[in-house]
Amino acid sequence: MTGKMKAQVFYEPEVMKMEQKDIPQIADNEVLVKVKSVGICGSDISYYYGHSPLDTANGKGPLVLGHEFSGEVVEVGGIPKSLGLFEVGDRVTCNPVQQCNSCERCSEGQFNLCSNPTVAGVNVDGAFAEYCKLSYTHVYKIPDTMSYDHAAVLEPLACATYGVKKLDVTPGDFVVVFGPGPIGIMMTQMIKASGAGKIAMVGIFDYPLSVALESGADYVINVADKSSKWYTDDVTAKIKELSGGKMASRVIVPTAAKQALQDALTVSGPASTIVYFGLPGPEDTIEVPALDTITSDKTIKFSWLAPLVWPTAIRCVGNGLMDLDKLITHKFSLEDTEVGIKFMKESPDDKLKGVVIVDAE
Ligand SMILES: [Zn+2]
Ligand SMILES: [Zn+2]
């Protein structure tokens, strides 16, 4: 397809411009998607403010950000066409992390560790634009019942799914989740659906904790705000009380907060599994009490990206296990992408997830 499109181009910290760009030209293995809805991710915010470099050759723009998106297929490359995989008009969600399939890690099936990934919105142009192209292997059809906004947040949901899979929930588990951000809320819903006995969510603001309470958490704990009715100054003692002295059998940490990284070790009990998921800074460390952890026979895992779980995430939404309406608290137009990014970072308003509606359904 030829012609021009509107795109939000990121140049340098706090400089993003709406421009006319050529519509991306697809290769034989690609699909062109007319973008409908794009999630504003924490990483978009940190690129925008210059808190982390882009993954481009020099770490800089110009680049179209936006990697969590859904849309409609408008052009199909030769390979997917000959395989009969897609037709113009298909409603799809998009996995932006396109592995090379030939490095050592890819050859062993560890696609999240690919050494040369092509990532829409991170090292090639992404979805804060009217059109975006992807390899046909990273485009998935969605059920008619799934809205484009829900399909846009499948990327973070897929990451959440991978973390929850690693948590290995057993029916009846006492689970502690640290961090009621969008990912933490998604995880709570999925952990509940996996058969957890009780779930306690630990956070620092009451609004997201109240959403966690509506999303399957049995208990919420505020460790920062002394005026909160859920406040405690000793989360370990609180979990001990709530678990009848047994402590948590599963703990997941979708936050990088230093205190949470440490508290995960003290709220977890014998034979527990801990999954670290949040993205800390390069200098951050976790101090593991060696003897207690060994003699408690704990398992500590880490979770990165979302290999081989997209179909699971899509099924969870398609089958009604997830309540994503609670998560999407703010919507912006493509013109207001920059306003949206700033709002999600700076506004004191109650908020969880913002999406940019590029083309309303
Ligand atoms: Zn993201
Ligand atoms: Zn690779």
Distance 155 CA to ligand 1 centre (A): 6
Per-residue pLDDT, 360: 87
Tell me the residues surrounding ligand 1 (ion) with CB < 5 Å.
Answer: 41, 68
Per-residue pLDDT, 332: 98
Q: Give the residue-averaged pLDDT of 314-337.
A: 96
Q: E-assigned strands of 77-126? A: 91-94, 97-98, 118-119
Distance 154 CA to ligand 1 centre (A): 9
* pLDDT over 70 percentage in the chain: 100
Per-residue pLDDT, 225: 97
CATH of domain 161-302: 3.40.50.720
The pLDDT of residue 361 is above 80: no
Distance 246 CA to ligand 1 centre (A): 35
Is the Cβ–Cβ distance between 124 and 64 less than 8 Å? no
- Residue 140 pLDDT class (50, 70, 90 cuts): very high
Token pair listed for 56: 């481009």
- CATH topology agreement for domains 4-153+327-357 and 161-302: no
Ligand (nearest to CA of 160): 1
CATH architecture classification, 4-153+327-357 = Alpha-Beta Complex (3.90)
Ligand (nearest to CA of 102): 2
pLDDT in tens, 61-108: 899 999 999 999 999 999 999 999 999 999 999 999 999 999 999 999
CB atoms within 10 A of CB 198: 18
User: To the nearest 10°, the Cα dihedral for 138, 143, 148, 153?
Assistant: -60
Per-residue pLDDT, 106: 97
Per-residue pLDDT, 55: 87
Residue type, 236: T
Q: Give the residue-averaged pLDDT of 5-31.
A: 97
Distance 38 CA to ligand 1 centre (A): 10
Token pair listed for 6: 């509107």
Distance 183 CA to ligand 1 centre (A): 10
Distance 125 CA to ligand 2 centre (A): 19
Distance 86 CA to ligand 1 centre (A): 25
pLDDT in tens, 223-256: 999 999 999 999 999 999 999 999 999 999 999 9
Of the listed ranges 7-11, 58-62, 100-104, 321-325, the least confidently predicted one is 58-62
Burial label for 227, CB within 10 Å (0-12, 13-18, 19+), is exposed
HEC assignment per residue over 238-284 = HHHHHCCCCCEEEEEECCCCHHHHHHHHHHEEEEEEEEECCCCCCCC
Per-residue pLDDT, 60: 87
Ligand (nearest to CA of 116): 2
Q: Give the residue-averaged pLDDT of 206-213.
A: 97
Q: Please indicate whether residue 52 or residue 331 has the higher confidence score (pLDDT).
A: 331
pLDDT in tens, 253-300: 999 999 999 999 999 999 999 999 999 988 999 999 999 999 999 999
| CB-side neighbour CA atoms (13 Å) of 63 | 25
Ligand (nearest to CA of 107): 2
Ligand (nearest to CA of 120): 1
Per-residue pLDDT, 53: 87
Among 94, 8, 19, which Cα is nearest to 48's? 8
Distance 141 CA to ligand 1 centre (A): 20
Q: Give the residue-averaged pLDDT of 125-154.
A: 97
Ligand (nearest to CA of 68): 1
Q: Where are the domains of the chain?
A: 4-153+327-357, 161-302
Ligand (nearest to CA of 67): 1
pTM of the predicted structure, to 2 decimals: 0.96
Ligand (nearest to CA of 108): 2
